Amino acid sequence: MLFSARRLTVQLCGWLSAQQLALTHATVSLEHERGRQAVEPTVLEIALAEPTWHEEHLVRLLKERLGRTELQAAVIAVRLTASKVQPAEPPSEDLFPDPGGSAEDHNRLLELLVARLGAENVLRPAPTSDHRPELANRWVSVQDDAKLSVPPGGLPRPTWLLHEPLRLMMKNHRPFYGSPLKLVSTGERIEAGWHDGELVTRDYYVAEASDKSCYWIYRERPSVKSEEVRWFLHGLFG
């Protein structure tokens, strides 16, 4: 199949060069049995982050996708379709380029990772406009064009956020995580979620342990149902 796909790719790239076009999306159809025992074709969608008309890069992506594709039946034909093209633009050249440091190199690396691992396993941060950290900290596929919201500036935010907040034990009226934690920042009050039934009322602080490690912890504000003061670990600073 790769042999057939390579020959089709060479012809496609020749046509793109002649037309001064660049490919942004391609579809590979692997056709199976026809007639009474017809089997639906296996379709591979190849989305390119960087428009290209170069044979080597396309063949490499096809090789990765074919290598991780499980077929339901024997393939009797291969069809390559240029689903989306745009006018080709020559890459801008720096006077002293860094090897592997261009935007084109970065996009090609992402395309190769998506072809090898799957789009659902190559993610990018896409913060959303929500005061609750567990909802604002959103990750989407690199191929997803979801809009991102800039997080609030001037506020301490940890490098790592726990998937679920960890309740901390109390010792001598202080939160404890390996050692007593000392609050080293002013509080940040977050009260949100009343509109969707997931109300949170928290006061966040940066806390320092005895080994100078810093943590992002919060205190649940007492409610009418319970006056108990509970502390949780929610993030880790690098």
Q: What is the pLDDT of residues 143-165, one digit of tens each?
A: 777 777 776 666 778 878 888 89
> Do residue 11 and residue 106 come from a single domain?
yes
> Do residue 111 and residue 179 come from a single domain?
no
Q: What is the pLDDT of residues 89-98, one digit of tens each?
A: 766 666 556 6
Give the chain's mean pLDDT: 84
pLDDT at 97: 61
pLDDT at 95: 59
pTM here is 0.54
User: Which carries the bigger pLDDT value, residue 225 or residue 6?
Assistant: 6
Q: CATH number of the domain that 46 lies in?
A: 3.30.1490.100
In whole angstroms, what is the distance from residue 108 CA to residue 106 CA? 5
207, pLDDT greater than 60 = yes
Per-residue pLDDT averaged across 196-204, rounded? 83
In whole angstroms, what is the distance from residue 63 CA to residue 3 CA? 10
Q: How many domains are contained in the chain?
A: 2
Residue 147, domain member (yes or no) = no
> Do residue 108 and residue 166 come from a single domain?
no
173, pLDDT greater than 90 = no
> Do residue 15 and residue 110 come from a single domain?
yes
> Do residue 33 and residue 105 come from a single domain?
yes
Per-residue pLDDT averaged across 26-44, rounded? 88
Per-residue pLDDT averaged across 49-57, rounded? 85
Residue 143, domain member (yes or no) = no
Q: Domain range spanning residue 114?
A: 2-88+101-121
> Do residue 172 and residue 65 come from a single domain?
no
Q: What is the pLDDT of residues 101-147, one digit of tens each?
A: 667 777 778 888 888 888 888 888 777 777 778 777 778 888 777 77
Per-residue pLDDT averaged across 188-207, rounded? 84
pLDDT at 99: 63
Write out the two tokens for 16.
Answer: 């793109």
Q: Pick the closest to residue 18 from 60, 53, 48, 67 (CA basis).
A: 53
> Do residue 32 and residue 108 come from a single domain?
yes
Q: How many CB atoms lie within 10 A of CB 153?
A: 6
Residue 18, domain member (yes or no) = yes
pLDDT at 124: 83
Write out the two tokens for 211.
Answer: 């080994």
Residues 119 and 141: beta-carbon distance below 8 Å: yes
> Do residue 160 and residue 117 come from a single domain?
no
> Do residue 107 and residue 162 come from a single domain?
no
Residue 227, domain member (yes or no) = yes
> Do residue 166 and residue 110 come from a single domain?
no
Residue 138, domain member (yes or no) = no
Residue 217, domain member (yes or no) = yes
Q: Helices then strands (H, E): number in the chain? A: 4, 13
pLDDT at 151: 64
Per-residue pLDDT averaged across 21-38, rounded? 88
| Residue 168 pLDDT grade (very low, low, confident, very high; cuts 50, 70, 90) | very high
Coil vs helix vs strand at 57:
helix
> Do residue 167 and residue 113 come from a single domain?
no
Residue 129, domain member (yes or no) = no
Q: Are strands 182-183 and 169-171 parallel, antiparallel or unpaired?
A: unpaired
Residues contacting 153, CB < 8 A, separation 6+: none
> Do residue 82 and residue 163 come from a single domain?
no
DSSP 67: H
Instruction: Count Cβ neighbours within 10 Å for each residue of 120-139 and write b for 16 or more, e otherwise.
Output: eebeeebbeebebbebbbee
Burial of 39 (0-12, 13-18, 19+ CB in 10 A): middle
